[in-house]
Amino acid sequence: MKVVKETKKIIDLIYAYEPLCYYFGLVPEQFWNNKIKENIIYVQSKMAKKLDNLREQVNLLEVTTNKLIKADAMSTRNPEIINIKDFYESIFDNNEKQQDNGAKDIERFFNSLMKAEEDE
């Protein structure tokens, strides 16, 4: 994603999104027949899904671990439970705001690239 944010021209943006689209399952024919905006939306939706899956896995691990810790009452009577979410604060803090801001940032960036290309 760093490469995508550092692009200055629309052609660079297209080539930056190409490997991401292929990674998420788009075939070259589909990539080149789609509009760049469609490819960006495709990558954003796949990345959001991947992040949601990660959150689900962390939540499941946390619930399972907490139950195991509570079940092991032989070691201590009041076991200390540390939330796994505390280690992954970046993916659990302001999730909706980050997604909305990210989509708006990409839209603004894309529009500025289009305007710069038209000016040239």
pLDDT digits (tens, 9 = 90+) for 33-87: 999 889 989 998 999 899 888 888 888 888 888 777 776 666 667 767 777 777 7
Q: What is the mean pLDDT of the chain?
A: 77
The tokens for 41 are 């939306």
Using pLDDT thresholds of 50, 70 and 90, give the confidence band for residue 92: confident
* Mean predicted confidence (pLDDT) in 91-111: 62
pTM of the prediction? 0.61
- The CA–CA distances, whole Å, from 15 to 23, 52, 73, 77, 120 equal 13, 26, 56, 58, 20
Between 6 and 117, the more confident residue is: 6
* Nearest CA among 23, 30, 27 for reference residue 3: 23
Query: Hey, what long-range contacts does 44-52 have (CB within 8 A, 24 or more apart)?
Result: 44/102, 44/103, 44/106, 48/99, 51/91
